[in-house]
Structure 1
Amino acid sequence: MAVEHSPTAFVVPAVTLLAAAVIAVPLFRRMRLGSILGYLAAGLVIGPFGLRIFSDPAAILHVAELGVVMFLFIIGLEMRPARLWSLRRQIFGLGVLQVSVCSALLTAAGIAGGFPVAASFVAGAGFVMTSTAIVMQTLEERGEITTPTGQKMVSILLLEDLAIVPLLALVVFLAPAVSGTPEGGLTSRLIAVAIGVAAIAGLIVAGRYLLNPFFRLLASYGAREVMTAAALLVVLGSALALQLGGLSMAMGAFLAGVLLSESTFRHQLEADVEPFRGILLGLFFMAVGMSLNLSVVIAEWTTVATYVAAYIVAKAAGIYAVARILKSDHAEALERTVMMAQGGEFAFVLYAAASSTGLIDAQANAILTAIVIISMVLTPLALMALGALTPAPTQSLDDVEIAEGLSGEALLIGFGRFGQVISQALLSERAEVTIIDNDVEMIQAAGTFGFRIYYGDGTRLDVLRAAGAGAARLICVCVDKREVADKIVELVKAEFPLAKLFVRSFDRQHTLALRAQGVDFETREVFESALVFGQEALVALGIEPDQAAAVVADLRKRDAARLELQQHDGIQAGAHLMHPQVTPAPLVEPARRARPLNPEAEDVLSDETRFSG
């Protein structure tokens, strides 16, 4: 895009980038292909090989570099030593082994294709760097980041994030060897390494002794925007310092983040910078999409297709082998393989650095970049295929007792957080309680604390009969999913009408539905605890304890009265909760406080529309 000396010279490109992202990302997420692919596609469409709205390669490079710099700063900011230490065995054991094996296989694939050893190593090392954004987003969507399987993948990603730093230095070290200058080759190489090491050492010293005093001085003036500006100054200044030292701006940003991770101002800085993370990553991926040279892909389609397949297969073989060697089962190893077999965003950084030093030429950079981008595009599709082709995981029932031929005066279904508290109350009075759950890990964990839990699915009539529902005087439904609770209630009411039925409710509407089904008792899972919380909050604000208890007791009574009203009047009564202007007079006069929390809030407790939970 042509540069104009007018206010629109910046606004038009910015609006174009934002519009492309706003259109493409929701579309791709709707198709369950992920936001990253949306950014890549948007960049491809508006880039020099699409609609040519952006045609200046230098501008594209600057956008991409800024995105990488800020991305690596955020990564570094999260690399707290304590976090690294807790995962040290998986990071430096599993992570190092996987990176080493996959690097060797990928380098061998390049050499087998007739490419030089140095270029093959750089190409393979770049592809080893899994896409942190894709894997972390997938784990977050599945809720698996904190699971053992997820933690292993996170550890590998951390090691790969750390590995980019020595790899960038290695590119600088290898570059003089292929520069074609026989005289002074070793001397030039040593000087370049010495300058790079000096730049890193200088940055570490400055960060250790200057950053905290610097931010403490700025904080004393109380200007938050200045703190944000100072954070950007440190990031970009560190990036520039390492670039002048012959290394990468990205490496400088990473080190700045690591240094700030130990600063007393770390949380403030993270809060200031975090909102920019998503948009900067989006800009980075859009710039990557713009960088996809379709003319090179078309001209070299056989090379691109061959190495996409070869690299994915080689890396997948390495990941699966390492997982199995370290005792992961087949399902876990296969899932990790499919999720991590692609190249990642750090490959672009490594390839750009190698291209700028002459280690690989522009044509090779374009081909390798296309290979990585295509592998990233294929990852969501591969995960969808894996989910469709593999059966649902089955839980091992080793050392788990099946619910069969049981009896007791109470049957408790679901041993989560809610059910555990209920069971303690029943067991404390030596009630004959049978507890069933379908989470094997929960059952095994409970067994270590002396609880005897049986395996069984409460939505199956045969399981309920085997668990003694027919002889139970009380059935407590404590499961953590509303649809599951509703199915169990339907079965119990139809097949075991003599048992009292107590049910964990999830919200007000669920409570009304359960009462309509005729359960003997229900309680919303957070209502009572919220009342206790509110009572203690009133006391903390200076209300007398007796008065606070009276307020909460009144709230409980009025809530019960409103439920009765809604139960009998249905939608008409429920409409009052949605339209405050037609709210009837309070059903019960609220207890008066010793003093209002603030003058405007005098009657807040008498407004029943505010308590619909």
Structure 2
Amino acid sequence: MDVSITFAFFLIFTGAAIFASLALATRQPLIIAYIALGACIGPYGMSLVTDTQLLADIGHIGIIFLLFLLGLDMQPQALWATLRKSTVVALFSSAIFLSMGFAVAYLFGYSTTDSLVVGAAMMFSSTIIGIKLLPTTVLHHRHIGELMIGLLLIQDLLAIIVLMVLFSAAGDGTESMGKTLAISLAGLPILGGIALLCVRYILLPLIARFDRFHEYIFLLALGWCLGLAEAAKALGLSEEIGAFIAGITIATSPISQYIAVNLKPLRDFFLILFFFSVGARFDLAMLQQVWMPALVLAGLVLGLKPVVYRFLLKGVSEKRPLAWDLGFRLGQASEFSLLIAYVAAGAVLISEQASLLIQATTIITLLASSYIVVLNYPTPIAISDRLRRD
């Protein structure tokens, strides 16, 4: 049944309030409530909300704001030092998770192409789970946050490369893909340099002149975030990278924390839509086709990712408690995994079963990882007062 966007929002946010109340009363993570609501009233449940692609696109803005706010909390010098260490860990861990996903899919009878795409989808960890569940105002967690951002940014670049390869395999040609990738990688420092110049000579003077008008500062921050996100997309990068650059370039401004506080409610609004769309777009009836490999692969992701991250981080001189903490926070598949599944299936590069395997594994790990982190580590939405931090 087709409904207006206003009525869809009414169903989603009223339902989210009810499901969130039940989740809190039964001591469950709120993220689970939003995904469950999507499964309940989405097209494969009660079919009250059917245009999940539109909601997913709107919800994606939440991820953009999430990365923008993340940049606001980081200093450029600290990020650069962290990226050098994160690159080694990200590349080695990605190779291990690619091999793991390929092996599982191949052993369950999937084709070589299917298995490669499944393996590639397992390389990434969830930006939303990792960052949303990380306390942002506790100094003890600053280094964890910097390491996490470094890892997730490297994974973001790897995901862009994977998606370019998929588009190329769909018919663009290897030579064209190589040129596009080179332009994108060259565009990253260019975008950063232009952003710094704009901040220094345009944004900061405007903020200094009109900082008493709070509405203006809010609009300026929104325009800067979304404008740089679109600029990054035009250069072949992701909107998330553009938003992060937008945040980090004004992180040294005294107004940055004011912007961060005022944008958090807007970020949460869009993230609720994103998690709703994740639950709504998964066909539970199809799970019977892939339940065995999905459970095996999800179990390996949940079990091996924390261990791999723990040993790799320990190898680059990180303390053992921090390595385990970060390992469990990144111990799941990613929203990029879902995107890879949708793109590869849409281009008929992989079978429908392989796409379902990626989707099922991702959603299982998102759900399970949310429980593991919320119940065992400090988070802003912890059920226990002892673990709630923000």
**TM-score of Structure 1 vs Structure 2, range by shorter chain:** 0.7 to 0.9
Could you tell me which residue of structure 2 aligns to residue 124 of structure 1? 122
Could you tell me which residue of structure 1 aligns to residue 268 of structure 2? 278
Match of 1:103 among 88, 94, 113: 94
Give the letter aligned to residue 293 of structure 1: D
Could you tell me which residue of structure 1 aligns to residue 383 of structure 2? none
Q: Confirm or deny that 1:2 pairs with 2:2.
A: yes
- Separation in 2, partners of 1:122, 1:290: 24
CA 1:128–1:366: 2 relative to 1, 3 Å: same
Match of 1:227 among 217, 223, 226: 217
CA 1:313–1:54: 2 relative to 1, 3 Å: same
- Separation in 1, partners of 2:146, 2:170: 36
CA 1:158–1:133: 2 relative to 1, 3 Å: closer
Could you tell me which residue of structure 1 aligns to residue 285 of structure 2? 295
Deviation at residue 19 of structure 1 after TM alignment? 0.8
- Separation in 2, partners of 1:213, 1:207: 10
CA 1:135–1:344: 2 relative to 1, 3 Å: farther
Q: Would you say the 8 A contact 1:99–1:128 is kept in 2? A: no
Could you tell me which residue of structure 2 aligns to residue 526 of structure 1? none
- Separation in 1, partners of 2:42, 2:122: 27
Q: Would you say the 8 A contact 1:168–1:248 is kept in 2? A: no
CA 1:266–1:321: 2 relative to 1, 3 Å: closer
Deviation at residue 169 of structure 1 after TM alignment? 3.2
Could you tell me which residue of structure 2 aligns to residue 61 of structure 1? 56
* Post-superposition CA distance 1:491-528 (Å, at most 9, x none): xxxxxxxxxxxxxxxxxxxxxxxxxxxxxxxxxxxxxx
Query: Structure 1 regions of 5+ residues with no counterpart?
Result: 4-8, 388-613
Q: Would you say the 8 A contact 1:69–1:249 is kept in 2? A: yes
Match of 2:41 among 30, 41, 46: 46
What is the aligned-residue identity percentage?
21
Deviation at residue 314 of structure 1 after TM alignment? 2.9
Matched length: 368
Could you tell me which residue of structure 2 aligns to residue 166 of structure 1? 157
Q: Confirm or deny that 1:190 pairs with 2:174.
A: no
Q: Secondary structure at the match of 2:11?
A: helix
Give the letter aligned to residue 104 of structure 1: A
Give the letter aligned to residue 361 of structure 2: I
Q: Would you say the 8 A contact 2:67–2:244 is kept in 1? A: yes
- Separation in 1, partners of 2:195, 2:221: 12
Q: Would you say the 8 A contact 1:312–1:341 is kept in 2? A: yes
Q: Secondary structure at the match of 1:131?
A: helix
- Separation in 2, partners of 1:63, 1:45: 20
Q: Would you say the 8 A contact 1:77–1:258 is kept in 2? A: yes
- Separation in 1, partners of 2:158, 2:40: 32
Q: Confirm or deny that 1:376 pairs with 2:366.
A: yes
Give the letter aligned to residue 65 of structure 2: M
Match of 2:333 among 327, 343, 348: 343
Could you tell me which residue of structure 2 aligns to residue 237 of structure 1? 227
Which is greater in Rg? 1
- Separation in 1, partners of 2:186, 2:22: 48
CA 1:385–1:238: 2 relative to 1, 3 Å: closer
Q: Confirm or deny that 1:73 pairs with 2:71.
A: no
Could you tell me which residue of structure 2 aligns to residue 247 of structure 1? 237
Deviation at residue 49 of structure 1 after TM alignment? 1.8
Match of 1:308 among 298, 319, 343: 298
Give the letter aligned to residue 33 of structure 1: Q
- Separation in 1, partners of 2:172, 2:180: 14
Aligned 1:154-553 pairs, distance under 5 A: 154-175=145-166, 177-180=168-171, 185-186=174-175, 188-197=176-185, 199-201=187-189, 203-215=191-203, 216-217=205-206, 220=209, 223-263=213-253, 265-322=255-312, 337-345=327-335, 347-348=337-338, 364-382=354-372
Could you tell me which residue of structure 2 aligns to residue 21 of structure 1? 16
CA 1:13–1:92: 2 relative to 1, 3 Å: same
Deviation at residue 319 of structure 1 after TM alignment? 3.1
Aligned 1:548-559 pairs, distance under 5 A: none
Give the letter aligned to residue 375 of structure 1: T
CA 1:196–1:309: 2 relative to 1, 3 Å: same
CA 1:201–1:160: 2 relative to 1, 3 Å: closer
- Separation in 2, partners of 1:256, 1:369: 31
CA 1:381–1:276: 2 relative to 1, 3 Å: closer
Q: Would you say the 8 A contact 1:70–1:253 is kept in 2? A: yes
Deviation at residue 363 of structure 1 after TM alignment? 5.4
CA 1:50–1:212: 2 relative to 1, 3 Å: farther
Deviation at residue 101 of structure 1 after TM alignment? 3.9
More strand, by proportion: 1
Could you tell me which residue of structure 2 aligns to residue 558 of structure 1? none
CA 1:351–1:130: 2 relative to 1, 3 Å: farther
Q: Secondary structure at the match of 2:64?
A: helix
More helix, by proportion: 2
* Post-superposition CA distance 1:90-131 (Å, at most 9, x none): x643x4454344322221122223244752452122248683
Q: Secondary structure at the match of 2:28?
A: coil
Q: Secondary structure at the match of 2:122?
A: helix
CA 1:281–1:322: 2 relative to 1, 3 Å: same
TM-score (norm 2): 0.78
Query: Structure 2 regions of 5+ residues with no counterpart?
Result: 107-111, 378-390
Deviation at residue 55 of structure 1 after TM alignment? 0.7
TM-score (norm 1): 0.52
